[in-house]
Amino acid sequence: MPLVITMEEREEFYIDDERFMVKKIYSDGKCDILAGDKTITIGDLKAEEVSPEVWVAAGLLSENARFLRLIFKAPRSISIQRGSRYRGGYDGR
């Protein structure tokens, strides 16, 4: 079963110890993800491999393009966490 995380622009997530950030959300449901010094465009029609064995697709949560759902498909052995949880906090989501 896929993991779904709701994100906003400039929010970050971690795949194991690798940091990613939602750089830009577009009104058509696509987004740009910053992975190190590389930008990856993610959409809803085709998942992209952002890390070995980790595939991500995206979709808008609302029509105002403020929130985005990231849908992850990865082995259970790979840790995927929003930035606040990775750093040991809990943001209530």
pLDDT digits (tens, 9 = 90+) for 22-55: 999 988 889 999 999 999 999 988 899 999 999 9
pTM: 0.87
For residue 91, the model assigns a pLDDT of 59
Q: Are 14 and 81 in contact (CB under 8 A)?
A: yes
Distance CA 66, CA 10 (A): 11
pLDDT digits (tens, 9 = 90+) for 53-70: 999 999 887 776 688 999
For residue 20, the model assigns a pLDDT of 97
Backbone angles phi, psi at 84, to 5 degrees: -65, -40
| 82 vs 87, more confident | 82
Q: Are 83 and 22 in contact (CB under 8 A)?
A: no
Give Cα 48 distance to the centre of its chain: 11
